Structures are given as structure tokens and as C-alpha cells.
């Protein structure tokens, strides 16, 4: 969760400024890329089930679309802020560029808590969000997708409202739709699988076999669950997961030294990734504080929850055994913590490369929806593996060639590609 005075957009700008200096970008390009091209903030009045009217605040930020239509998810979160959305839209620009798909970056959100809203109320928020933005999104302009606490159902409501407004069938407007309604096979697994494809390649570089490793994972939503599944298939063992408890309004870590049983835990997990504590206790899981995930004596740490989780305050708690951090979440590591990780020589696969499986598969869904022809699941996941592996190798090769930190190498590639697109278009 966002803590104290942490500002994710300032962090994103610091990261950009560092690479802009390395690339020696001209002042105009720096000014263009360190701020979004367009921002939308608006009110969404909603008739609640009890007859009252409540007004929710919504956002959409389009950071850059020089390389193609903007792309980015929509979050429903009670602590959503415009600066969070700005940061995420910028990271989406770099994410699309680093895996070399022809899309730009955007992000959206609504300040709300789905835990306290009925499905009818959530549907009204979805439709209200689209009504505010119908002229500013579209298959060839800005393509939304699910994100924190939004689902395929939310996307379908949004698509339906857009098609009612435009009077046309436009399945390419939005991705993350249900399979059978324009959604892509493999999309559910894509982000989590992409994390592990990247972890697999990093382990190859470290000359470590996956079946000789253990991991600790923060989060137990869609990304974490599928990352754990594929990691297990490669022979790795996850000994603990950390997740948010809505009832207590705090996080807990669930640990089993012998290795967690993913199906067992999924069976006692709600749709927001919260694990039932009483049932977990009966299954032999040890309860620890929420931040205990970072202290575990494991080979791999996978933060797959929210931004600002590995900080200057807790980075010193990382075990000396940890060899690899795979950032499944967006912006989980602050610059202060990043400096310590770099100095310790821990191999880190940066967020906008590691978790790019989701947007890559969203791009596949967008292509399939626009041409009304859909691929089999094995083909989708095969294309995803190829794309993620190629992106990792390009970043790794540059890091070795120029003696760069992996995060810096990924930024050099992505920011360089976007800057060149802006230059080619004559914007700068």
C-alpha cells in the first residue's frame, strides 16, 4: 500500500531523469517524456442500491502514444491517486517499448473499494467511467485492460457501454475480456507466466537450476498465483506468500517450510487474493507479519502486489541467501532500496520487463479481436514465451556490453525506442 509521503510519479521521473542523462537526450525530449501527453480527471455519479447517489472520482492518463495506441489497465482502489496513475502510465510506455510491441502507455483508475460495493454498483461505475471517456479511448487510440481489483466482467461492462454509445461492435476497444466474448486464451496466466519466463532466463544466466531454488512471494492475486504455478512446474518451491486481509486491514504472511500447496491455498482464497486465516491454520500454515515475506531465507524474492514495497527501511532485512529479485508488481522497489540491491550484487529483473507478459498478451488479444480470428492457448503462450525471452536477452546483452544494472539497461532500450519514435514523428 502507499505509505507516508511516497509519490510514485516522482519516483518514475527520477528513474527517467537518470536514464535521460545516460542517453544524453535533448531538453525538449526530456520535457516531453517526463510528463504525460494527456490527463483526464472526472466525477462519476452512481445511484447506489440503497437509493442514494454517491460520486466517485475517476482518472485516465495517456503518457505517450508515439509508438502506437496507448495501452494500460484500470484500477479500482480506495487509495488511488492521480500521481499513482501518472506513474503507472509512464511505466506502461516503457513496458510496451521494452518488449517491442507497437503500443504506447496509459493507465486509469477509480477511487473506490469493490469490497464494499455490490456487483450492480460496480457495473454502474464501469459504465460511468466509459461515458466520461468514450471520445478519448478506442481500438486505435487508447485500449484499457483490467488491473488491481478489476476483472473480465468489469471489462465486458465497459465494452458494452462503449458499443452502445458508438453503435458499433468494437471488441478491440478493451482487453482482458472473457474468453468467448473476444478475450484471448492464455490471458489469465500471461502476467504470472511472464514473470517466471523472466526468472527462468535470469537463473540460466546465474547458472542455477530452478529445481534447486526456493522463493518467497508477496501477493496472492492473479499474478502471484500463476507465477507460483509455473515456478512449481519448473521444480521450484515457494515457502511463503504474503497477502492483504480485508477484514483486519493489514497484511499477513503464510509460511510452510515444506512448500505451499497452491491449489490448497487457492481453495481458501477470496476473489481479491485474501486467504482465510482459520482454514490456513488448520492446514498447518504458520502466520507471520505481512512484511515477513522479505526476510525469508530463500533464493528468490518475487514482489507481486503493490508499489513501494521494498524500501530503504526494509531492504536491509533481505537474506544474504537471496540471489534474485523478480519484480512482478509495478514499482515495488524505491530508488533507495534499489541502490542497496545493486551494491549487494543481487540480480534484479525490473518490473516493466518482468511483468510485461500481461500487456504482451493484451496486445495479442487486441490483434485477435481486431481481425476476429483467435489462436489456440498453446500458440498464445508460445508467442508470449518467445517475446519475453527475446526481451530479456536484449536487456541482458546490453547490461553486459555496457556494464549496466539490469534496470538501467531495460530503461536505456525502452526510453531510447520511445525517444526515437517521437523524433521520427517530428515531435521533438
The one catalytic residue among 71, 107, 323, 387: 107
pLDDT in tens, 245-255: 877 788 899 99
- The sign of the torsion formed by the CA atoms of 383, 386, 390, 391 equals positive
Torsion of CA 317, 323, 329, 335, to 10 degrees: 60
Average pLDDT over residues 80-95: 95
pLDDT of 381 over the 80 cut: yes
Helices (H), 207-272: 222-233, 262-266
Relative to beta strand 104-111, strand 324-326 is unpaired
Q: Which three cell numbers stand for residue 347?
A: 540480480
pLDDT reported for residue 3: 43
Per-residue confidence band for 6, with pLDDT thresholds at 50, 70 and 90:
confident
Query: Where do we find the cell 520511445?
Result: 418
107 is catalytic: yes
Confidence of residue 235 (pLDDT cuts 50, 70, 90): very high
Instruction: Select from 181, 178, 103, 180 the least CA-distant residue to 143.
Output: 103
- Give pLDDT, residue 278: 86
In this prediction, residues 380-387 reach a mean pLDDT of: 97
State the number of CA atoms in the 13 A half-sphere of 370 facing the CB: 14
State the pLDDT confidence band at 152, using cuts at 50, 70 and 90: very high
Range 401-425 average pLDDT: 97
Phi, psi at 256, each rounded to 5°: -140, 110
DSSP 8-state assignment for residue 306 = -
pLDDT at 331: 86
Where are the strands (E) in 256-344, listed by range?
286-289, 300-303, 324-326
- d(CA 43, CA 132) in angstroms, rounded, equals 8
Q: What is the mean pLDDT of residues 48-69?
A: 98
92 φ, ψ to 5°?
A: -65, -35
- Percent of the chain exceeding pLDDT 70 equals 99
Query: pLDDT category, 306, cuts 50, 70, 90?
Result: confident
Measured between alpha carbons, how far is 319 from 300 in angstroms, rounded to an integer? 10
1 pLDDT band, cuts 50/70/90, is very low
Other beta carbons within 10 angstroms of residue 48's beta carbon come to 13
Do 412 and 19 form a contact (C-beta atoms < 8 A)? Answer: yes
Average pLDDT over residues 61-79: 97
Over residues 333-378, the pLDDT tens digits come to 998 999 999 999 999 999 999 999 999 999 999 999 999 999 999 9
Phi and psi angles of residue 207, each rounded to the nearest 5 degrees, phi first:
60, 45
Element (H, E) at 34: none
pLDDT above 80 for 22: yes
pLDDT tens digit sequence for 319-341: 999 999 999 998 899 989 999 99
- The pLDDT, as a whole number, for residue 5 is 66
Smallest Cα–Cα separation from 71: which of 60, 80, 79? 60
- C-alpha 171/C-alpha 366 separation (Å) is 8
Beta-bridged to residue 367, according to DSSP, are none
- Residue 202: left (phi > 0), alpha (psi -120 to 50), or beta? alpha
The reported pLDDT for the residue numbered 183 is 96
Asked if 94 contacts 411 with a C-beta cutoff of 8 angstroms, the reply is yes
How many whole angstroms from its chain centre is CA 102?
Answer: 18
Residue 238 pLDDT greater than 90, yes or no: yes
Q: What's the Cα-to-Cα distance from 287 to each of 177, 229, 264, 291, 387, rounded to whole Å?
A: 36, 22, 16, 11, 38
DSSP 285: P
Please name each of the domains of the chain with its CATH number.
37-170 (3.40.50.10860), 188-349 (3.40.50.720)
333 CB-contact burial (10 Å; exposed 0-12 / middle 13-18 / buried 19+): buried
Contact 152, 120 (CB under 8 A): no
With residues binned 3-state (H G I as helix, E B as strand, rest as coil), the percentages for the chain, rounded to 5, are 50, 20, 30
Please, what is the average pLDDT of the chain? 95
pLDDT for residue 28 is more than 50: yes
pLDDT tens by residue, 179-205: 999 999 999 899 999 999 999 999 999
Amino acid at each position: 500500500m502507499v505509505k507516508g509521503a511516497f509519490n510514485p510519479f516522482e519516483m518514475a521521473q527520477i528513474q527517467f531523469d537518470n536514464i535521460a542523462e545516460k542517453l544524453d537526450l535533448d531538453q525538449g525530449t526530456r520535457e516531453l517524456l517526463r510528463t504525460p501527453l494527456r490527463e483526464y480527471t472526472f466525477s462519476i455519479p452512481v445511484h447506489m442500491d440503497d437509493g442514494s447517489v454517491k460520486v466517485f472520482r475517476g482518472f485516465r492518463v495517456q503518457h505517450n502514444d508515439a509508438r502506437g495506441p496507448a495501452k494500460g489497465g484500470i484500477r479500482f482502489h480506495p487509495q488511488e491517486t492521480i500521481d499513482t496513475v501518472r506513474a503507472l502510465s509512464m511505466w506502461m510506455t516503457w513496458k510496451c517499448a521494452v518488449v517491442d510491441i507497437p503500443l504506447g502507455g496509459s493507465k486509469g483508475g477509480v477511487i473506490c473499494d469493490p469490497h464494499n460495493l455490490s456487483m450492480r454498483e460496480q457495473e454502474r461505475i464501469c459504465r460511468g467511467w466509459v461515458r466520461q471517456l468514450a471520445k478519448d479511448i478506442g481500438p486505435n487510440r487508447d485500449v484499457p485492460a483490467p488491473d488491481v481489483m478489476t476483472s473480465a466482467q468489469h471489462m465486458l461492462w465497459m465494452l458494452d457501454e462503449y458499443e452502445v454509445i458508438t453503435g458499433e461492435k468494437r471488441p478491440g476497444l478493451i482487453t482482458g475480456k472473457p474468453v468467448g466474448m473476444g478475450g484471448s486464451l492464455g490471458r489469465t496466466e500471461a502476467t504470472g507466466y511472464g514473470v517466471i519466463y523472466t526468472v527462468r532466463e535470469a537463473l540460466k544466466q546465474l547458472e542455477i537450476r530452478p529445481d534447486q531454488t526456493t522463493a518467497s512471494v508477496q501477493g496472492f492475486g492473479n499474478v502471484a498465483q500463476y507465477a507460483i504455478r509455473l515456478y512449481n512446474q519448473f521444480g521450484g518451491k515457494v515457502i511463503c506468500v504474503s497477502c492483504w486481509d480485508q477484514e483486519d486491514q493489514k497484511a499477513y504472511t503464510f509460511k510452510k517450510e515444506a512448500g505451499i500447496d497452491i491449489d490448497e491455498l487457492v481453495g481458501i482464497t477470496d476473489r481479491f487474493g485474501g486467504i482465510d486465516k482459520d482454514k490456513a491454520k488448520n492446514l498447518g500454515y504458520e502466520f507471520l507479519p505481512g512484511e515477513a515475506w522479505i526476510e525469508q531465507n530463500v533464493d528468490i524474492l518475487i514482489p507481486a502486489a503493490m508499489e513501494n514495497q521494498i524500501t530503504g527501511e526494509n531492504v536491509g532485512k533481505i537474506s544474504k541467501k537471496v540471489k534474485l529479485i523478480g519484480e512482478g508488481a509495478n514499482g515495488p522497489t524505491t530508488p533507495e532500496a534499489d541502490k542497496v540491491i545493486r551494491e549487494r550484487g543481487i540480480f534484479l529483473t525490473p518490473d516493466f520487463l518482468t511483468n510485461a507478459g500481461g500487456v504482451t498478451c493484451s496486445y495479442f488479444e487486441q490483434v485477435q479481436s481486431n481481425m476476429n480470428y483467435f489462436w489456440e492457448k498453446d500458440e498464445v503462450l508460445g508467442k508470449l514465451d518467445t517475446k519475453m525471452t527475446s526481451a530479456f536477452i536484449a536487456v541482458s546483452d546490453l547490461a553486459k556490453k555496457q556494464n549496466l544494472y539490469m534496470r538501467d539497461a531495460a530503461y536505456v532500450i525502452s526510453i531510447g525506442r520511445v525517444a526515437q519514435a517521437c523524433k521520427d514523428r517530428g515531435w521533438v
